[in-house]
Amino acid sequence: MAAACLAFLVLAGLASAQSVRSHLLVSTEWLAANLDRPDVVVLHVTRDPATYARGHIPGARLLTWDQFTTVRDGVPNELPSPGELADRFSRLGVGDNTRVILYGDPPGLVAARAWFTLDYLGHGEHAALLDGGLEKWRAEGRPVSQQEPPSPTPGKLTLHLRPEVVETLARIRRLVEVPDPGVLLMDTRPPEEYRGEKPAGNPARAGHIPGAVNFYWPDALVSREIPAFKPETELRRLFESAGAQRGRRIITYCGSGVQASLVYFLARYLGYEAALYDGSISEWSRDPQNPLVTGPSPR
C-alpha cells in the first residue's frame, strides 16, 4: 500500500510538472542568445511610443496600445475585429511560423494583454513573455537601442480563433445566477476594490461580482522593480490557495481586462483552462441589475 501511494504521488508530481507550458515564458538569457534568429520577432508593447524611442531591445518592433485595443459601446480595452488584429500583427512581421517575444511598459501588464490577444487569434502557443521585461534586461547590463529597425517584411498570419477564451456579459450573468463548481471566477484588482472600499467602474460601484475570489496580480511578481514571475511552485501555490484545481476552469476579470490578462497568462502558463471576461467591471457596473457584493475573499 505504501509503495502504491508513493508511486501515485510521484506520478501526480510528474503530471503537474508536465502541465507547465514553459515555452510561454523566456528568460533574458534565452532572448540574448536567440535575438538574431530570423523566425524570432520581438515586440516592444507600450501605451506611449516615446518609451520605445528612449530605449528598446535591439531589433524590437513597436506595438502600440491602440493597435490591439479599442473602445466598444463605451467599454475600453476591447478586442478589435480579428481581421484588424491579424493585419496589424502581420505588418510587424508576425506569421504562422514566427516565435513572438513580448515585453512592455512596467510591470508587464500591456505585454500580457498583447499575449492574450495573440492567444485569442490562435497564435498563443507561438508567443511568450520575456520574464522580467526590459527592466531585467537593463539591470543585467544588456544592450538597448534607440534606433528603429528596418521595416519588417509582412508576415502571413492565419487566424485560428479561440472565442472560448473571451467571456461575455451574458455568460457571466448566467454563472452568477447558476454557480458552476467547475468554474473559478477570479477578480484580479487591488483588494480594496474587490472588497468594495474603493468603488470602480463607470458608473463607479463598490464590490465584486458574486462568487469571485480575489487574486491580486502583483502577488505573482518577485518585485515591481524587476517584474519577473515567482517560481512555478510558488505560483501554483498561490493559484491553489485561491481555489484553482486541475479541471476547474478559471475566468479572470478586473477593471477593464488589462490586469486580468496577466493572471490569464499565468493560468495558461501553469496549465489551467482559462478565459477572460473582457468587459470586466467597466461593463458589469453599467447595469444596476448586475449585482456586486462587498467583503473579503472567501479564501
| pLDDT tens by residue, 145-170 | 999 888 899 999 999 999 999 999 99
Burial of 81: CB neighbours in 10 Å, binned 0-12, 13-18, 19+: exposed
- Answer with the residue of higher pLDDT: 79 or 18: 79
Counting every residue written for the chain, the total comes to 299
What's the N-to-C CA distance of the chain in angstroms? 34
The distance from CA 111 to its chain's CA centroid, rounded to whole angstroms, is: 8
Q: Which domains does the chain have, with CATH numbers?
A: 21-139 (3.40.250.10), 163-284 (3.40.250.10)
pLDDT, residue 10, reads 39
Mean pLDDT within 22-42: 97
Other C-beta atoms closer than 10 Å to the C-beta of 213 total 17
Other C-beta atoms closer than 10 Å to the C-beta of 160 total 12
pLDDT, residue 202, reads 86
Q: Does residue 5 carry a catalytic annotation?
A: no
Question: Is the pLDDT score of 64 beyond 70?
Answer: yes
Strand bridging mode 99-104 / 127-130: parallel
pLDDT, residue 299, reads 66
pTM: 0.93
Question: Is the pLDDT score of 135 beyond 80?
Answer: yes
Q: Which of 254, 258, 270, 281 is catalytic?
A: 254
Contacts of 134 (CB under 8 A, 6+ apart): 44, 55, 56, 57, 103, 104, 106, 144
Average pLDDT, the chain: 93
Q: How confident is the model at residue 90 (pLDDT cuts 50, 70, 90)?
A: very high
pLDDT, residue 42, reads 98
pLDDT, residue 20, reads 95
pLDDT, residue 5, reads 38
Mean pLDDT within 189-201: 96
Residue in the structure block whose three cell numbers are 454557480: 179
Contacts of 4 (CB under 8 A, 6+ apart): none
Query: Residue 2 is placed in which grid cell?
Result: 505504501
Percentage with pLDDT > 90 across the chain? 90
Question: Is the pLDDT score of 8 beyond 70?
Answer: no
Instruction: Please answer whether residues 41 and 60 qualify as being in contact, where contact means their C-beta atoms are separated by less than 8 angstroms.
Output: no
pLDDT, residue 297, reads 84
